[in-house]
Structure 1
């Protein structure tokens, strides 16, 4: 399978980086092809401009968006790896989605005005870290809200089949053995899914 990983964390020594390395290593060890788009390292421009709309409406695309469409088009699985900041994704990833998962490529509307996802036949998987313990997010409904906005509001909206969503909580305050257990869970999940 061809895997595309959209990665959004600015610190190359972060636990997210360990998650990325583990994911790439595990998938490649199983014979999968993996392409990583490290949005911070790429210095991806997340700002949706009026000029972007003008190009989209004329049937054209900005060059950087066109390039990302090529990666998405070749992928069987799209995995998003990012931290939860202020109960959402980093701005650079939100901007990527706004610019790249655009109308006419990732979705369109039917004559009745209902959205139609255009990325059907592809799978989506999300891996998140957060500073807050998972138990607190679970008890307040935040975990389900995050799933609703990302798994349903982005993946399913664009026609992707969501195959899983991992949340790793309290990452800054747990010890290394707890983080190693998280990576073990990640490896096990990747083995089961792919």
Structure 2
């Protein structure tokens, strides 16, 4: 199976990077092919510009968008790994979605105005970290809201079947043992799903 991991964290010594390494190791241990698109390392431009709109509408997909779309086309599964900032995707990842999951590539509208997801053959998985403890987000309904805006609002909208979404909260105050358990959860979950 071909896996595409889209990774959005600026620091190589972050816990998100440890999650990335664990995810890659788990998938490769089962013989899967893994491609990582580290958006910060790539210097990915997240701004959907007027030029982008014009080019996409005329069928002349800008080169950097076409490159990322080719990785998505080749993938059987797409995994997003990112920290939660202000209850949303980091700007670089939001811009990746804005630019790469474009109309006519990831979705379109039928003649009756219904949404048609064009990535229906793909499976999706997300891993999100945040500083706020999970119990707070769970009790306030925030976890469910986040799932609705990402799992449904991005993946399902484009036809991608979301298999799971792991949320790791309290990262800034968690100890090494807790973090090791989180990494174990990442590996076990990926091995079970794929």
| Short-chain TM bin | over 0.9
Equivalents in 1 of 2:148, 2:162: separation in Å?
A: 11
Aligned to 2:163: 163
Could you tell me how far 1:29 is from its partner in structure 2?
0.9
Equivalents in 1 of 2:188, 2:23: separation in Å?
A: 11
Structure 1 position 82 matched with structure 2 position 82: yes
Instruction: List structure 1 runs of 4+ shifted beyond 6 angstroms.
Output: none
| 1:11-160 correspondence runs (5 A) | 11-160=11-160
Could you tell me how far 1:122 is from its partner in structure 2?
0.4
Equivalents in 2 of 1:185, 1:42: separation in Å?
A: 28
Per-residue CA shift, 1:79-101, capped at 9, x if unaligned? 00000110011000000000000
Name the SS for the 1:172 alignment partner. helix
Could you tell me how far 1:109 is from its partner in structure 2?
0.3
What is the root-mean-square deviation in Å for CA atoms of aligned residues? 0.5
Per-residue CA shift, 1:103-128, capped at 9, x if unaligned? 00000001111111000110000000
Per-residue CA shift, 1:28-81, capped at 9, x if unaligned? 011000000000000000000000111111111000000011100000000000
**Number of equivalent positions:** 194
TM-score, structure 2 normalization: 0.99
5+ residue gaps in structure 2?
Answer: none
TM-score, structure 1 normalization: 0.99
Could you tell me how far 1:147 is from its partner in structure 2?
0.1
5+ residue gaps in structure 1?
Answer: none
Structure 1 position 6 matched with structure 2 position 6: yes
